[in-house]
Structure 1
Amino acid sequence: MKQFFKTLHHVCIVVHDLDKTVDYYEQLGVGPWFDYPKAGPYVEFDVPNRAASDAMRYKCVDLDNVQIQICQPSELDSPQRRFLDQHGEGVYHLGFEVADRDAAEAAARALGIGVTARGARADGSGFAYFDTRAQAGVVLEVRKSA
């Protein structure tokens, strides 16, 4: 079986106040932070709530070995908002880099893992979030960079 949860790319932490959290990390010497880079348009974009997805705020920092993403969901209904309301701030998902997003998504589906959100671009880049919280303790994501 091909291992697609092998190369950790990022850890995503959901917070109430993005600016306050980034300020704290900067006081610890963690930075520089940048806005999550929105790449080109998706040819496929299946998320539970498009407006909520569009309204989320993200900041990222590249460390030597992994990226940290901080996410502040809007008040609109989304999986991230529900996580924050039910569990408080914390790690929402782990993102893994893959060579082929489509193949990784298909392999996960073949294992019976449900997809909760997905996006694909014409160049083959994109993401897929999996319904793994109950079994893995966290949402798992695969992503392919452009």
Structure 2
Amino acid sequence: MENNISFDGFIQIAIVVKDIQKAAKTWARFFNIPVPEIRNNPPASNPDLTYRGKPAFYGLKLANIRVGNFVIELHEPDEHDSTFREFLDKHGNGVHHLGFQVGDKRDAIIGELEEMGYEMRTIGYYPGSSWTIVDSEDELGVNLNIKPRA
């Protein structure tokens, strides 16, 4: 790729789970840390969120385990269509994506990945940044999350 993804920008591993409370307790025990807070984000209409090119409407339970500048994210999707539900239904518990912070190269990297034939599975915007899940699991064994800033 002309606009390569730097190892320095590797900031996240996201794991989709069927039972976030069980997973959070197990990871906490594994790392000998307090159980991370579990946030429940109910389904909401959001014009800045798409799934497979259409407006997305789904809920998600989320827990973050912060390790320095790196994050292990646990995701438990609800029953609505989403990239996380798609993954869980297809694979069960597992690593959904690796997250990369790429700064101002975000649009160029996304463009190159689209030219290479990768579909943008989910695109979300929030104040000050965005996130794009690149559907790469068939080729790479995992999806990619491309973000300008964490």
**Which of the five TM-score ranges fits, normalised by the shorter chain?**
0.7 to 0.9
Over the matched positions of the two proteins, sequence identity in percent amounts to 26
Instruction: Identify the residue that residue 23 of structure 1 maps to in structure 2.
Output: 25
Q: TM-score, normalised by structure 2?
A: 0.78
Structure-2 change in CA distance of 1:16 and 1:130 (3 Å): same
CA deviation after TM superposition for structure 1 residue 57, in Å? 1.1
CA distance in 1, matches of 2:126, 2:60: 20
CA separation of 1:2 and 1:18: change in aligned 2, threshold 3 A? same
Corresponding residue for residue 104 of structure 1:
109
Amino acid at match of 1:74: D
Shift of 1:2: 1.8
* Mapped contact 1:132–1:138 kept (Cα < 8 A): yes
Q: Helix, strand or coil: the match of 1:127? A: strand
Tell me if structure 2 keeps the 8 A contact 1:10–1:68: yes
Residues 1:119 and 2:124 are matched in the alignment: yes
How many residues get paired? 139
- For residues 36-73 of structure 1, give each alpha carbon's deviation from its aligned partner in whole angstroms, at most 9, with x where no partner exists: 7x9xxx87432246222xx1111111113621000001
Q: Distance in 2 between matches of 1:145 and 1:35?
A: 23
TM-score by length of 1: 0.80
CA–CA distance in 2 between the matches of 1:122 and 1:12?
A: 21
User: Which of these residues, 39, 43, 50, is aligned with residue 56 of structure 2?
Assistant: 50
Deviations 1:7-35 (A, max 9, x none): 21110111111111111222221456245
User: Could you tell me which amino acid in structure 2 is paired with residue 51 of structure 1?
Assistant: F
Aligned to 2:86, what secondary structure does the other structure show? helix
Q: Which residue of 6, 11, 21 maps to 1:9? A: 11
- The Cα offsets for residues 51-99 of structure 1, whole Å up to 9 and x where unpaired, read as 22xx111111111362100000102222322321232111111111110
| Aligned-partner SS, 1:51 | coil
Task: Show structure 1 runs of 5+ residues with no match.
Answer: none
Match of 2:36 in 1: 33
Alpha-carbon RMSD across the aligned residues, in angstroms, is: 2.5
Relative distance call for 1:119 and 1:82 in structure 2 (3 A) is closer
Runs of 4+ deviating beyond 6 Å: none
